[in-house]
Amino acid sequence: MAESELKTIARDGLWTNNVGLVQLLGLCPLLAITSSLVNAIGLGLATTFTLVVSSVTISLIRKLVRPEVRIPVFVVVIASTVTVVQLVMNAYFHELYKILGIFIALIVTNCAIIGRAEAFASKQPVLPAFIDALTMGVGFTLVLMALGGMREIIGQGTLFANAHLMFGEAARDLGVTILADYRGFLIAILPPGAFIGLGLLIALKNIIDGRLQARPRKIEEPEAAPASQPV
């Protein structure tokens, strides 16, 4: 597999076809859990891990699995992975697990995971499937973090509060109060704030895409002409 193809896969996952901003999959956890940065990181990492494990497994067994039963097999793989993640989080990140609660179990229903399994991993060798899952997961995590950070600052005036739930006692001081004596802006913490925030992020991505599109065209056009000649 050529390196450039892997790069395209990576760019797709992180940006062009981002799970949160473009595919708009996994909205339920995306909107519900992003009231703070630490929650966002916790759920993002758990989702990424599940995505990587399930995609690699599904890619490995893709020739064995008959098309008639592929969906049940995917479901079994994903559900087992999520249950294992859930148990391990409960054992090692107990407090964070209590906050994220049902949303860890609900990773099973995150359409992004079965979507990648069906659309990509079941048709590709292990390496591209791995890169695809990893970048899709990281892309999703970054959106969660952007939204979580934004809502935490606007809603509570803090950033990285409760970091010790995730990174242990040493990280307790990571939390910073950005706006001292801030009374809080409730709507940012409540579900409407999640919708508004996500809308703003999507708009921002569209603006950046618009700028990017306007720029490289001038460079690409002269290049495109010679490329067509040898064909």
Partner 1 sequence: MRYRTVLFTGILLSLFTVIGATLVAYTFENTKARIAANERASLLRNLHVLLPPDSHTNDLFRDVIEVQDPTLLGSRDPVQVYRARRNGEPVALVMTPEAPDGYSGAIRLLVGIDPEGTLIGVRVLSHRETPGLGDAIEAERSDWILDFDGRSLGNPPADQWRVRRDGGVFDQFSGATVTPRAVVNAVRKSLIYFERHRDELFEPLESDAEEEVEEHG
Q: How far is the CB of 84 from partner 1 (least distance, A)?
A: 5
Q: How far apart are CA 32 and CA 43, in angstroms?
A: 11
Which residues 24-43 are close enough to bind partner 1 by CB under 8 A?
A: 35
Computed on alpha carbons and rounded to an integer, the radius of gyration of the chain in Å comes to 20
If binding is defined by CB under 8 A, does position 83 make contact with partner 1? yes
Which of 28, 60, 87, 178 touches partner 1 (CB under 8 A)?
A: 87
List own/partner pairs for 86-89 with CB under 8 A and 24 or more apart: 89/42, 89/46
Which of 1, 28, 60, 76 touches partner 1 (CB under 8 A)?
A: 76
Q: How far apart are CA 144 and CA 41, in angstroms?
A: 7
If binding is defined by CB under 8 A, does position 100 make contact with partner 1? no
Q: What is the dihedral of CA 162, 166, 171, 173, to 10 degrees?
A: -10
Q: Is 151 left (phi over 0), alpha (psi -120 to 50) or beta?
A: alpha
Alpha-carbon distances of 178 from 28, 30, 161, rounded to whole Å: 28, 24, 11
Q: How far is the CB of 77 from partner 1 (least distance, A)?
A: 7
Near partner 1 by CB under 8 A, which window of 60-68, 107-115, 134-142, 197-205?
A: 60-68
If binding is defined by CB under 8 A, does position 211 make contact with partner 1? no
Contact string 166-205 vs partner 1 (x = CB under 8 A): ------------------x-x--xx---------------
Alpha-carbon distances of 155 from 14, 81, 111, 143, rounded to whole Å: 27, 34, 29, 18
Which of 56, 73, 133, 194 touches partner 1 (CB under 8 A)?
A: 73
Nearer to partner 1, 65 or 179 (CB): 65
Residue 194: name the closest of 23, 43, 42, 29 by CA. Answer: 29
Nearer to partner 1, 10 or 188 (CB): 188
Near partner 1 by CB under 8 A, which window of 62-70, 108-116, 122-130, 172-180?
A: 62-70
Q: Which residues of 170-205 are buried (b: 16+ CB within 10 A; e: fewer)?
A: eeeebbeeeeeeeeebeebbeeebbeebbeebbeeb
Which of 2, 64, 102, 180 touches partner 1 (CB under 8 A)?
A: 64
- Residues at the site binding partner 1, with contacts judged by CB under 8 A: 35, 61, 64-66, 68-69, 72-73, 76-77, 79-80, 83-84, 87-88, 90-92, 94-95, 98, 155, 184, 186, 189-190
